[in-house]
Amino acid sequence: MRHERLIMAFGLLTVVLLSWAYLFSGAGTMREMGGMLMPMSAWPWSAEHAILMFVMWLVMMAAMMLPSAAPVILLYTTIARRGKTGNTTPSAPVLFVLGYLVIWGMFSLAAVLMQFFLEWTALLSPMMESTSVMLSGMLLIGAGIYQLTPLKRSCLRLCRSPLDFLTEHWRSGNRGAFALGVRHGIYCLGCCWGLMLLLFVGGVMNLVWVAVLAVFILIEKLAPGGEWLGRAVGVPLIGFGMVLLLTPFASSLKI
């Protein structure tokens, strides 16, 4: 079991490192201009560009979310092999991860559709960053409010407690492994979707911003007191969002 856990841990680490390498390389979304990497302009969208954007979002979700999901994946690997329940095979942990990534794949598809709409309405810059103070303010306020909701707390509780999650939702067999991964992905999505939308505020192509959000999610899910930090961050998000929304109004009144 220790051997299998090491293999799974190494596999997760490899996927995460390759995902970050993919993002830093630009992977078809950037081109070199004057010795600098600049985002490619692709409006109107082609089918090829839409697929490329979907792959970029999915890889980004893997890079950001797999580190925080590692504890439950490794615990599942241990329990599944120790118990040998149902028709579980050595591939069950892989199916668990695939089920988890299916949910983030669905989110990635939704993010691509949102990106398409925002680019169509000229609300995103070439760096996929909001060009609208109102849009940025609403996204910040929405994310801040969600940080304070009972649904957020409920999803975060199960994300922070791998044993509780597996005890409450255990499914045997390979189908059960995939279904369990899907369910955990749903809880993780319920925990983090509001924060993910902040990528449109700081810039989807701004890898520093992407890394900041990834580290915050990791701390919120794994660190002692992470749930309190998550709630605490909600307040300044709301405050900053309100400042952004009120600034144009105050300027019009010459305040």
- Give the Cα separation of 168 and 179 in Å (integer): 13
CB-side exposure of 73: number of CA atoms within 13 Å? Answer: 31
Task: Give the pLDDT score at 25.
Answer: 87
33: in domain = no
What domain range is 199 assigned to? 2-27+42-252
Interval 97-122: pLDDT, tens: 999 999 999 999 999 999 999 999 99
Contact (Cβ atoms closer than 8 angstroms) between residue 116 and residue 50: yes
118: in domain = yes
- Give the Cα separation of 220 and 213 in Å (integer): 10
Backbone angles phi, psi at 32, to 5 degrees: -85, 125
In the chain, where does DSSP find H-type helix? 2-25, 47-83, 92-120, 133-147, 150-160, 162-169, 173-197, 199-202, 207-222, 226-252
Q: How many domains does the chain have?
A: 1
Task: Give the pLDDT score at 173.
Answer: 83
Angle at 215 between CA 41 and CA 105, to 5 degrees: 55
DSSP assignment of 34-54: TTEEEEPP-PSP-HHHHHHHH
User: In this structure, how many other beta carbons lie within 10 angstroms of the beta carbon of residue 13?
Assistant: 13
212: in domain = yes
178: in domain = yes
- Give the Cα separation of 94 and 52 in Å (integer): 25
36: in domain = no
pLDDT < 50 positions in the chain: 33, 250, 253-255
- Give the Cα separation of 103 and 172 in Å (integer): 20
Task: Give the pLDDT score at 255.
Answer: 42
Task: For residue 29, give the DSSP letter.
Answer: S
74-84 per-residue burial string, b: 16 or more CB within 10 A, e: under 16: bebbebbbeee
Q: The tokens 């709301």 sit on which residue? A: 238
34: in domain = no
Task: Give the pLDDT score at 46.
Answer: 86
pTM across the whole model: 0.88
- Give the Cα separation of 75 and 221 in Å (integer): 15
159: in domain = yes
What letter represents residue 48's amino acid? E
Interval 60-84: pLDDT, tens: 999 999 999 999 999 998 888 776 5
